[in-house]
Homo-oligomer: A and B are copies of this chain.
């Protein structure tokens, strides 16, 4: 199929490449002209503007895949695309948008006779090679029409063992993508995916912290162990209950440098962790672990908090306690 890729950052460019490998024709656009030229060198059809893209389709419907940062960049680009689209055209938001924005934009598109599809993708920088895991929201018919695109981008069956007891007429999940529901459902499922991701990561982080701390001189001498964390991460990949892809990455990180000396430990969060907690609160679902994982990232980014000082002030108040030596 012919499809326009708008936004040629790391994710957008790789998605375009995987599409071209799958014999799709990609119209490439980015505000950064070099990104366009580079991809044109690999076979893409270069475009100079959103308007220019519109003219490079040969028939209807035109398919616009927007791959930009969530928020203003995506919002304003989609607004512009809506203006230059014709009824029947399809707009795909493949970024990390907030699912309520999808719901709103899908309504707007619907009024204009356009079709809106949201695609949450997981797989990061490995997707070009491994394929992208995709969670898709939109109308049945539109999602079906785009099937060749998703089929190309997804990992496919690969060597992953089939799930025992599984029986479904729809094998898309096994090939690496699902139609999760109407507009917004794709990004909603992806959002929860990221919330879980934070929780998983923090569980490993805390566990390795305990292993690391076991050599501490604060402990009785005969209860100290000097544990080789790289070896532990490696062995846990092999037949243990906690083997996972995140553990594979942990093993890679620790193999390169068991002290992780290149990292400062100031950990960013994208909006999705926060949105996941919001969604949980709207449903009154207790999410102790997912929230704690998010908060650990907040805490990692500051040296101290005002709250910590307040604790010290109270302790001084009732006990005359002076703070710990630094």
Contacts and interface: CB of A to CB of B under 8 A. Distances in A.
Given A178-B232, A255-B167, A324-B301, A267 B308 contact: yes
B286 A281 contact: no
The 9 closest A-B pairs by CB, nearest first: A199-B203, A244-B244, A265-B308, A205-B307, A249-B317, A253-B313, A213-B283, A286-B295, A265-B304
A113 interface: no
Main secondary structure of the interface of A (DSSP, over half): helix
19 contacts: A122-B242, A124-B319, A154-B239, A161-B248, A173-B238, A178-B231, A189-B227, A192-B210, A193-B236, A197-B241, A201-B314, A205-B311, A206-B289, A209-B286, A212-B306, A213-B280, A263-B312, A288-B293, A291-B295
Given A123-B240, A238-B160, A265 B309 contact: yes
A299 B308 CA distance: 10
Contact of A291 (B180, B195, B291, B310): B291
Contacts of A238: 131, 133, 154-155, 158, 160, 173-176
Interface residues of A, number: 155
Contacts of A72: none
